[in-house]
Structure 1
Amino acid sequence: MNTKKLFGLVVIVFIGFWMFTDPSGLATTSKSLAGQGWDLATQAFRGVIDFVGAMK
C-alpha cells in the first residue's frame, strides 16, 4: 500500500475516532484552527496590498 494512502487513512480514522469520543473538543479545535487560518490569510493579503501600494 502506498505510504501517502496509508497516512491519509490513519488521519481519517483518527479524526473519526475523535469525532465520536469528543465531538465538542473536535468542534472547538476546528473553530480555533479556522480562526487562525483566517487571521493568517488576512495578514498575508494585507502584506501583498502594502507591497503593491509601496510600488507606486
Structure 2
Amino acid sequence: MDTKKLFGLVVVVFLGFWMFTDPNGLAATAKTAGGNGWDLATQAFTGLIDFIGALDKK
C-alpha cells in the first residue's frame, strides 16, 4: 500500500472516530475552519485586485 493511500485511510479513520466520540466538537471545528478559509480567500483576492489596480494606474 503506498503512502498516499495509507495517509488517506488514517485521516478517514480519525475523522470517523472524532465524529462518533464528539460530533459537536467536529462540527464546531469544521465551521471555524470553513470561516477562516473563506476569510483567507477573500483577503487573497482583495490583495490581488488591489495589486492589479495599482499596476493599471502607472
Give TM-score scaled by structure 1 length. 0.97
Q: Distance in 2 between matches of 1:26 and 1:51?
A: 37
1:4-43 to structure 2, matched below 5 A, reads 4-43=4-43
Question: Which AA in structure 2 matches 1:55?
Answer: L
Aligned residues: 56
Give TM-score scaled by structure 2 length. 0.94
Q: Percent identity?
A: 73
Question: Which AA in structure 2 matches 1:4?
Answer: K
Stretches (4+) displaced over 6 A: none
Question: Which AA in structure 1 matches 2:39?
Answer: D
Q: Give the Å deviation of 1:37.
A: 0.1
